[in-house]
Structure 1
Amino acid sequence: MSGKAARRRAREFALQGIYQWLLSGNSVPVIEEHIEQATGFDKADREFFVGLMRGAVDQIDELQAEFAPFIHREVHELSPVERAILLLATFELKHHIEIPYRVVINEAIELAKSYGGTDGHRFVNGVLDKLAAHLRSIEVEATRAGKNPA
């Protein structure tokens, strides 16, 4: 399996873990252990999964503060799936600058299409477009100008 596919699976499992954490409040190690038993986890990038899951949970307040200005309701009013996707993608935008912002946004949209509500992917796309312009302004501007960021 390619690294890209293994990362996509890691994102899916991280989303499930963050979602479980938001709903249950169980400890991260318990949730990780549960998810690692899931069918298909052996095809995921385990290190990437753990980094995403722990990063999003450990930094929940800072991450929510980043995307909160771009939503038109309170963070706690978001569906748990949308909230988990935004936490995951915001963490990636902030801490995985080696991954192009468009890849982060596209992966989040795919997660929203698979796991979210009917128009959840549009909402996620709108929020992350604005957030990327804020967090990665140089990369976004370079892309819009038709250049590759250096």
Structure 2
Amino acid sequence: MNDHDQSESPAGKRPPRQSRKGLTSTGARKAASKSTRSRSREFALQALYQHLVSGNSASSIDSFTRDLAGFHKADAAHYDALLHGCIENAEALNTQIVPHLDRPMAEISPIEHACMWIGVYEFQHCLDVPWRVVINESIELAKEFGGTDGYKYVNAVLNALAPTLRAAEVAADRNTAA
């Protein structure tokens, strides 16, 4: 047996640690394991961030984003719905979010703001996406792109909104769990 064969390890040594399936060493999801919808949310997040920071129009951001590497692996229709829907409904989305904030919207990170927009928009307009998936996907975006604990804030706001925006679905889930 050569020195590189790891079928048998010397006494007292463990074999190399295997990474968790679908996750990188940092805990982020591996690109290969992401669904087309998850990818569309990532591109929409980047586009919404650009809109929040620069104020660029949806059409100019859309043109730029579609040229980014990997966009062809995203669900383009879902991306379109999120980008254009969030920008067109920004005021209404903010109206839903603001009562659950502990500080002015201007003090919220643009990443967390965009994650909350995506979550609220999906609650209201993407009824094929279960409410728990909406929250989980928004949290994952905030973990991957946002500040250290920003995902906790996104989670708290979306969990507070879910019983109102998806009342029947949340109630049914909670009755099943009880």
What's the TM-score once normalised by structure 1's chain length? 0.93
Q: Distance in 1 between matches of 2:59 and 2:68?
A: 15
Determine the structure 2 residue equivalent to 1:25. Answer: 55
TM-superposed CA distance for 1:75, in Å, is 1.3
How many residues matched? Answer: 145
Structure 1 position 121 matched with structure 2 position 151: yes
Q: Distance in 1 between matches of 2:56 and 2:81?
A: 18
TM-superposed CA distance for 1:84, in Å, is 0.7
Determine the structure 1 residue equivalent to 2:106. Answer: 76
* Amino acid of the structure 1 residue aligned with 2:96: E
What stretches of structure 1 move > 4 A for 4+ residues in a row?
Answer: none
TM-superposed CA distance for 1:138, in Å, is 1.2
Q: Distance in 2 between matches of 1:50 and 1:76?
A: 26
Q: Distance in 2 between matches of 1:68 and 1:146?
A: 31
* Amino acid of the structure 1 residue aligned with 2:169: E
Determine the structure 2 residue equivalent to 1:92. Answer: 122
Larger of the two Rg values belongs to structure: 2
* Amino acid of the structure 1 residue aligned with 2:48: I
Equivalent residue of 1:125, what SS? helix
Determine the structure 2 residue equivalent to 1:61. Answer: 91
Q: Distance in 1 between matches of 2:113 and 2:154?
A: 9
Q: Which of the pair has the greater relative contact order for Cα pairs under 8 Å at 6+ separation? A: 1
Determine the structure 1 residue equivalent to 2:36. Answer: 6
Q: Distance in 2 between matches of 1:133 and 1:69?
A: 14
1:102-143 Cα offsets, whole Å, 9 max, x none, are 000000000000001111111111110011111111111110
Q: Which structure carries more helix by proportion?
A: 1
Structure 1 position 107 matched with structure 2 position 164: no
User: Unaligned 5+ residue runs, structure 2?
Assistant: 1-31
What's the TM-score once normalised by structure 2's chain length? 0.79
